[in-house]
Chain A
Amino acid sequence: MSQAYDVTLIEEPIGGPLLDGGASPGVSLRDAQAARQYRSLWGNAWQQFRLHHLAMIGLIFLVILTLACYIGTLIYPRGINPDMMTTFISPTAKYPFGTDPIGRDLLASILWGGRISLAVGFLAAFVAISAGTLIGATAGFMGGKADGFLMRFTDLFICLPQLPLLLLISFLYRDEMFAWADKKFGNGNIGVFILIVFVIAILNWMSTARLVRAEFMRLKEKEFVEAAKSIGAKQITLMMRHILPNVVSQVIVAATLAVGAAIITESTLSFLGLGFPSDIPTWGRLLFEAKDYFQFYPYMALFPGMVIFLTVLSINYMGDGLRDALDPRKTR
């Protein structure tokens, strides 16, 4: 899809290579200059993104955190099995984040739970954004009756009472999903995972659908679409190859912010005791468990809370950086 966007130099610059066969075989001076001049959109965006310090810090933090959660857990000496000999230990060198009422190492819990919290965030955002893009693109491109129907449908979802439904669906269908996945995959938590990703996604695709629809309606009247039509491009080609790439940058920004929102939603759900079961220590779940103890053992709430905060903050700064970087009108 990025092909439509790439503006790379394919032919030799006018006048031919300047120092052909000279001191530096291969790359000529002019090529180097040309390469600097004609960067691809993504290369350009990356250059811009790097200038946004907070976005870069956010990106680095997120990469380190992700590695710690998915690879660090394999190296870190302690798992998340309860141990009645090590309850309520305040942070020390041995237990950097302390231990909880059932003797689990809090750092280990945060890392293991982070796998789930991050996965829910990214997957829910991915599903929501894909659904929103599909619906918005169809509505905007088709217009007419299809558009009317899809937009009424979107409006209905916007008016749904989000939080009550979120609580309701995850509470009512959790046990059934658990039993179903337990039978099917031998692990019931997969069912809870699917349910939570689905609930978050189904309540968060609407703004993307509206955004993409508006852009599709604007772009389908443009000359380049007309040109593509005149050479006999099929409808699906028009949508996917000609219009969609022009919307991608905005969708990426929306997707980034959706990841942060999904992480907060999942932790809220878990904090209310309606998310994952207690053997899955997602970040919100850790705070839910800390709720009754944090007056005496503040570290139990501070560490998981800070991880949620820093993760979402990093993602929001990255979204901000991406917005600037992908906006061709803004150059620093």
Chain B
Amino acid sequence: MGRYLIRRLIVSLFTLVAISVVIFAILAMAPGDPLSGFAANPNVPAELRQRMREQMGIDDPVPVQYGRWASQYLQGNWGVSYTTRSSTRDYVLGRLPVTLKIVGGAYLISLLIALPVGIISAIKQYSIFDQVATTFAFFGFSLPTFFTGILFILLFSVKLQWLPFIYDDTVTGFIPNMKQMIMPMMVLALAGAGSLTRFVRASMLEVINQDYVRTARAKGLRENAVIIGHAARNALIPVVTIIAIEVPAVVGGAVVTEQIFRIPGIGSALVQGVNEKDVPVVMAISFGYAILVVVFNILADVLYATLDPRIKFS
């Protein structure tokens, strides 16, 4: 396990370097000047513009730019955002808490839906409950998040006027904050719950007819103990790995949700950064996302090995 992990970490390190090169190359090879918006401003004198270019090193060869970016990144300096003119690090990290709250809440909700629904669906396969759950799961992964968001706003904000639909970060207090976060959370949660429910159901169906489950019943355990203590415990091992692997996808989904509800989080910073070709911000967020993917992939493997003693890494 230890040796496997070390090898895995080294491979991941190379992967991350390769990813950063890919992102950097895409940004660097793109046509158009990152400071074009700035340059079009007639109030900016030409020499100031030139000085800024030199300062940012925009005219250096791409490999030199990459080297500078990489060494600065390792030292914790993510550069200066082209548009906000402040530290990219402060800007991006300042946007992180609200995204984490919404993504975390959403994932929790989707687990709270998927686990019981998936398990009951499997126990009562082909029952009315299972059919309704299956239908909802199909709806869940066929509905694009931006449309769910619009439907929620139309229903809960426009029609019923229960919830605000524009996020306001000056709001204080738990209840008002929950009120403005529940819709974005539910949008993300429903999108995730659909496929997760199907996965829990499938993995539960695989164990439910196994001999050890029958043995557990035969020795007179109550049904609940059989299902939760014996069947679900094994069925959920692959589910745990899926939960870990899907974390980056949920974070990615926040991009759309933040756009609909105008939440000033990471996702909207990314869209804004892309639209303004703010290289340091886009680089920081994309690379942060890549790290997230790699870390959760390793985590999934480690969890799998720890939870299932039959899996041995060599």
Contacts and interface: CB of A to CB of B under 8 A. Distances in A.
Interface of A: 155-156, 158-165, 167-169, 171-173, 175-176, 260, 264, 267-268, 271-274, 284, 287, 290-291, 294-295, 298, 301-302, 305, 308-309, 312-313, 316-317, 320
A163 B145 CA distance: 14
Given A159-B293, A161-B293, A167 B270 contact: yes
Contacts of A274: 274-275
B243 interface: no
Contacts of A291: 150, 260
A283 to B, nearest CB: 9
Which of A161, A267, A287, A295 lies at the interface centre, i.e. has the most chain B CB atoms within 10 A of its CB?
A161
B293 A312 contact: no
A68 B255 CA distance: 33
A245 to B, nearest CB: 27
Interface residues of B, number: 46
B158 interface: yes
Interface stretch (B15-23, B51-59, B61-69, B208-216): B15-23
B285 A312 contact: no
17 contacts: A156-B18, A158-B297, A159-B16, A159-B290, A160-B293, A161-B293, A164-B23, A164-B274, A168-B27, A172-B31, A172-B32, A271-B144, A273-B275, A290-B150, A295-B154, A312-B143, A313-B139
Which of B144, B277, B297 lies at the interface centre, i.e. has the most chain A CB atoms within 10 A of its CB?
B144
B102 interface: no
B15 A164 contact: no
B205 to A, nearest CB: 14
Nearest to A263: B144
Contact of B22 (A160, A175, A320): A160
Interface string B135-173: 000110111111100110110011000000000000000
Which of A159, A171, A173, A291 lies at the interface centre, i.e. has the most chain B CB atoms within 10 A of its CB?
A159
Nearest to B256: A268
B231 interface: no
B138 A172 contact: no
Contacts of B139: 313
B286 interface: yes
A165 B256 contact: no
Contacts of B40: none
B277 A165 contact: no
Which of B145, B150, B293 lies at the interface centre, i.e. has the most chain A CB atoms within 10 A of its CB?
B150
B19 A164 contact: no
Interface string B274-291: 110100001001110110
A156 to B, nearest CB: 6
Contacts of B141: 316
Contacts of A267: 144, 146
Contact of B286 (A155, A168, A298, A301): A168
A181 to B, nearest CB: 14
A156 B19 contact: yes
A274 B272 CA distance: 11
Given A162-B252, A171-B274, A272-B255, A308 B144 contact: yes
A202 B158 CA distance: 40
Given A169-B26, A264-B144, A163 B255 contact: yes
